[in-house]
Amino acid sequence: MDLPLISVIIPTHNRPHLLPVAVQSVLAQTYPHVEVIIIDDGSQPALDAATLPVDARVRVWRQETAHGAAAARNLGMQQAHGEFFAFLDDDDYYFPHKLQVQLNYLLAHPEIDMVFSRVEYHYGNGQKECYENSYDGWFNNFINLNTIHTNSSLFRRRIFPRLQFDERLSKYDDMHFYLSASLSCQIAYLSDIVAVWNMDNRPDQLTHKGHYCRNYHNFRLVCEHFETQVDPYPILRRVFYKKLLVYSVLCLKWLTSVRLLFKLLGYGQLHRTD
């Protein structure tokens, strides 16, 4: 029986010193039938393929202009040949068993569209942590503002192109993707630790804490998209609009902050004017 191909999509931008570790972690998987699709999202200078591990399973695509991780991941899915898709950030890496464990589960459960597992958090001070996780349907995933890390999932090709990343988002595109998946896909959770997420808060990381106004605009788009799901439930309103309220205050958007207080109480709609 032919082994199913897994396409691992790695978007990258100006991180040639970190990318080879990510790529090698895919090539070193205990499951061998993989392709690595690297999307160079407008790096300056352009990514030099000679710096990458030499392997026929590695393919590089370049966007001359940086369009963001969401667009890069969408392009990667368009170019992928695999029956199964996975993502990896260019500054992180997989543990060797990641793909095999998750593929075994999906092959044994054809009704499941996506599986995800735990990641190990690595901080700049050398500290490491790994949290327990769970999955109990879309509602609890919304309460937790998404529990599925981008590095931790494996899913079937059949959910694409129905499910794609929102290219308007320069942050929270992964949250948007997996919240959408929880509304439309059958998802399972495995407790294995499968990948590392480096959390050293470098300024080039999308999770860097200094980008409050960008965070506000991106999270506002997420709130607008899921307004229909969020508004009927007081607990979801508190989760979503409290977070947006914090960002609006940090960005000195006082009128918006007042509106969000009303949203927390269940009144009004989000205005798209700021």
Give residue limits of the domains in the chain: 6-199, 212-264
Quickly count: other Cβ atoms within 10 Å of residue 229's Cβ: 16
Does domain 6-199 fall into CATH 3.90.550.10? yes
Give CA separation, 88 vs 217, 221, 255, 262, in Å: 25, 24, 39, 39
Q: Using a cut of 0.85, tell me whether the model's pTM lies above it.
A: yes
Lowest pLDDT segment from 38-47, 183-192, 247-256: 247-256
Nearest to 102 by CA among 179, 6, 35, 169: 6
Tokens 């593929």 found at: 103
Give the pLDDT score at 260.
Answer: 85
Q: How far apart (Å, rounded) are the C-alpha atoms in residues 271 and 258?
A: 12
Per-residue pLDDT of 75-100, as tens digits, reads 999 999 999 999 999 999 999 999 99
pLDDT tens-digit readout, 139-156: 999 999 999 999 999 999
Residue of 271 and 239 predicted with greater confidence: 239
Mean residue pLDDT across the chain: 92
What percent of the chain lies above the pLDDT cut of 90? 82
